[in-house]
Structure formats: C-alpha cells, structure tokens
Amino acid sequence: MNRRPIRLHDLVLLAVLAVVFGFLYWALVQVWGWLQVLMGPLGDLSQNALIGGWMVVAPLAVYIVRKPGVGILVEIIASIVEVVFLASPVGPMLILVGFIQGLGAEAAFAVTRYRRYGWGVFIASGATAALANLLMGLVRFGWAGQDLFELRLVLQFASGILLCGLLARVIGDALARTGVLDNYAIGRARRAPEVSQQNG
C-alpha cells in the first residue's frame, strides 16, 4: 500500500474528476431515459445495462492516485454534484448510492492492498461494483422476486465489468499517455521501469 499521505494536488484532481463525472453521470441519466423507451416492455432492464457507466470514476480515481478511500470519495462528490447542481431525479438518496457503488468498486483494489493494477483487478473491480449495486437493488426494488432476474443479473455484471472496470483502465491509460498525470502515482509507476533500465 502507498503510505504517502494524500497531497493537495491529489485532492484537486479528485475534485475535478468528481465534478466532470457528475455531469457525465447526469448525461447518462438522459440516455437511460431514451433507452427505457427504446427497450419497451424490457425498459426496466435499461438501468442494469448502463449501470457500470455510473461507477467508472471510482476505479479511475484509485488507478490514478492509488490511495485508500479515493474511489468512495469521488463517487460521493459526483453524486452531490448531480443532486445539488443538476437536480437529479433520484434526489439525496443518490449520495448513499454513490457511497455504496464507490465502496464496491474500490473493494477489489483493497484486497490487493492497492498494489496491483492489472486488467484482472479492473475486471474484479467492475464485478464487485456491480455486486454492491445488485445487493442494493435487491433491498430497494425487490429484484430477486421479479421476472427476468437472471437477465438483469447478466446485464448488471457485464455492464459493471465493461463500463466500470475495463473502461476505467482504458481512460486512465489514455490520460497517462498524454503526460498530464506524470506527477501522480500512476505517472510515477509508469516511469519506474524506465528508471530501472537506465540504472541497470
């Protein structure tokens, strides 16, 4: 685990990520509305198909900063942005949802003590985020007793893995290649092999 204390520029980046993704999450809500209509009688499943997109900033933040709790923090702030500034129809309940989804997404990294960032960990992050959201849905909406629960389950985990876990890794790598993250943990980790080769 990275024992360095979180720094001010880390916090600034996390705040920027949270605000940007808060707006993106709100935009995804609009897509969700259209998808519900397009899916007709299966419209209720549209949330499960898109759910990973509402959790992607958590593993992305952990990937960049590599500190415990940052995934939960950015999800909570993003949800506050949605509620306070964008009048999300979910209301204040969304803040609790953000906490649970961030916790689920960060769990996979916590198991590795924030030391591993391979593709497998991101797949696991998407799956644990989906699991956390599924458990919440079982309590809030009674999904387990509904028809098509198996299809809901498949969509939930597929979306979590693709739109949360794997997409976070893709976005993080793309940003890192530009050099804008060189002063963050992800940038230092990318430079480490080069330094080893130069000193070898």
pLDDT by residue (tens digit) across 41-100?
999 899 999 999 999 999 999 999 999 999 999 999 999 999 998 887 778 899 999 999
Residue spans per domain, the chain: 8-199
In terms of phi and psi (left: phi > 0; alpha: psi -120 to 50; beta: otherwise), the region of 88 is: beta
In CATH, what is the architecture of 8-199?
Orthogonal Bundle (1.10)
- Cα gap 122→167, rounded to integer Å: 9
Q: What percent of the chain has pLDDT over 90?
A: 81
Amino acid letter, 110: A
